[in-house]
Amino acid sequence: MNERPGAPERPSVRVTVGQVLGSADRPANRQVVGDVLRTAAHVRSDLVVLPEYASAFEPHGVGPRHAEPLDGPFVSLLQDKARETGVAVIAGVTLPGSEDRAVNAVVAVDGGGALVGVYRKVHLYDAFGHRESDRLEAGPVDAPPLVLDVAGLRFGVMTCYDLRFPESARRLVDAGAEVLVVPAAWADGELKAMHWRTLAVARAIENTCAVVAVGMAGRGVVGRSLVVGPDGVVGLELDDVPAVRTVDIDATRLAEVRATNPSLANRRFTVTPR
């Protein structure tokens, strides 16, 4: 995996990481996201990954007042820009839920502008003094894994707190994922940045897959997006301020690591929802 300008040289897949500063100002967020997508198009990326809650964010908690439907302005912007540029997008959004709850979700839009999947967060962040379940409802655990093809690589989608549950990553890998994508607004606090990095690296090593973990920048969150190779080597790591960076993920290297370390073939247990 290496960071370099210009057109991707196949079999690499070019991914732009948008570590944006989110806010409750939805039009401002759309402007920021539009800028990231223009940057990605300029460097000929195949995919843009944006954080959890990219459509609207508040450090004190995201809930129903931040929600908008899939046909609302944020997802429509993603579709329009993907259609214009040919760049696929994975981004965290907040959708309307039932009664007084919203849904923490991740949408996947292909390079033609089609909404190809929605992952609704299964593990709500009821930990470290936070209670997402006070404002959000969890997605169904038995929903099909969201795995999409981008330029010949398979990207599996999870989000934030899911990173602490290795079975979530393994279920995606079982569904064919070669790259795990983790949009997040990882809450800051004692040891939290260390946990974020360690868990992303662990998920890569144990699944012999790449990990693209994209954090929200700003107050109350750690930022610190990183891209990890299937051997656990960190190829890109940001600090806690807004940034846009692009990397190439090498499909050949991924195959080599899996051939050398066939841990997926050697496993003796399966993962099933409960």
SS3 content of the chain, % helix, strand, coil (to 5): 30, 30, 45
DSSP string, 167-217: HHHHHHHHTT-SEEEEEE--B-STTHHHHHHHHHHHHHHHHTSEEEEEEPB
Q: Does position 111 have pLDDT exceeding 70, yes or no?
A: yes
The catalytic residue positions are 52, 121, 160
What sign has the CA pseudo-torsion 258, 259, 264, 267? negative
Structure tokens at 246: 């692009």
Structure tokens at 17: 């990481």
- Closest by CA position to 136, among listed 100, 185, 186, 183: 100
Query: Mean pLDDT, the chain, as a whole number?
Result: 95
The CATH T-level fold of domain 14-261 is Nitrilase/N-carbamoyl-D-aminoacid amidohydrolase (3.60.110)
Query: Taking CA 91 as the corner, what is the angle to CA 192 and CA 124, rounded to the nearest 5 degrees?
Result: 50
Contact at 8 Å (CB) between 93 and 54?
Answer: yes
Q: Each residue of 182-239: pLDDT tens digit?
A: 999 999 999 999 999 999 999 999 999 999 999 999 999 999 999 999 999 999 999 9
Q: What is the pTM of this model?
A: 0.95
- The Cα 175–Cα 188 span in angstroms is 32
Structure tokens at 215: 């954090």
Cβ-proximal residues to 30 (8 Å cutoff; 6+ apart), any chain? 73, 74, 77
**Beta strand spans in the chain (E):** 12-19, 47-49, 88-96, 102-109, 115-120, 147-150, 153-157, 179-184, 210-215, 226-228, 234-237, 243-250
- Closest by CA position to 200, among listed 218, 188, 214, 220: 214
Domain ranges of the chain: 14-261
Q: Does position 6 have pLDDT exceeding 60, yes or no?
A: no
Q: Each residue of 156-193: pLDDT tens digit?
A: 999 999 999 999 999 999 999 999 999 999 999 999 99
% the chain with pLDDT above 90? 94
